[in-house]
Each structure stands twice: as structure tokens, then as C-alpha cells.
Amino acid sequence: MISDTVSPSQKLSAESLGMAADCLRILAHPMRLKLLFLLEEKRLTVGELAHVCEMKNNVTSEHLRLMMRCGFLSVEKQGQKTFYQISEPHVFSILSCIKSRFA
């Protein structure tokens, strides 16, 4: 039986659903998830992230750029260094779900 009330998922526009799908596609990459798990603990530079992930700086930067495009990350400059950090609180919930399901 279908309820007469409108659920929150039915209130999402096609545009909102498209944006959500785009951002979920960006998250659906093992290295991006690894970067987020590292950033969950503390803010880090591209060089630090690249070193831990054993990637080149430019490849790491591209992954970070994609996640920034969805609003998941922000940057904070401190002198010559640029630190990346998670800026979208919902990312922490997503990471928690992933850990509880796959850890």
C-alpha cells in the first residue's frame, strides 16, 4: 500500500538526484576512499597524502580536486603549505557506514 504522505526521497528533484549520483560516483573509487579515511583523522597536505598512498602528487591532487568539486573537502593555507580537510559532515557518516559494513 502506498502512503498518502510524501517521503523525503520523493521530494528530491531530478537535478538533486543527478548531483547525488555524480558525487557518489566520485566517492566510488578505492583511492579516494583511502584519502578520505586519512583525512577523517587529521588534515594533511597533498605531499603527505601522496606519500602514504604511494601515489604521485599530481594524481593525488586530481583525486582531491574531484572531491572538492562535490564539496567534500576544503583547503586551509598555512604559510607555504596547503592542508586538505573534510568539510562536509555527512562524509563522516558515510565513512562510518563503510567501516561498519566492510571492516
Q: Is residue 65 part of a domain?
A: yes
Contact of 73 with 87, CB cutoff 8 Å: yes
80 inside domain: yes
Segments of the chain with pLDDT less than 50: 1
CATH classification at residue 60? 1.10.10.10
Regarding pTM above 0.85, the answer is yes
Residue pLDDT, tens place only, 10-32:
789 999 999 999 999 999 999 99
State the pLDDT at residue 1: 47
pLDDT at 11: 85
Residue 96 has what pLDDT?
98
Q: Which domain covers residue 77, as residue numbers?
A: 30-102
pLDDT of residue 10: 73
pLDDT at position 57 is: 98
Residue 95 within any structural domain of the chain: yes
39 part of a folded domain: yes
Residue found under cell 606519500: 51
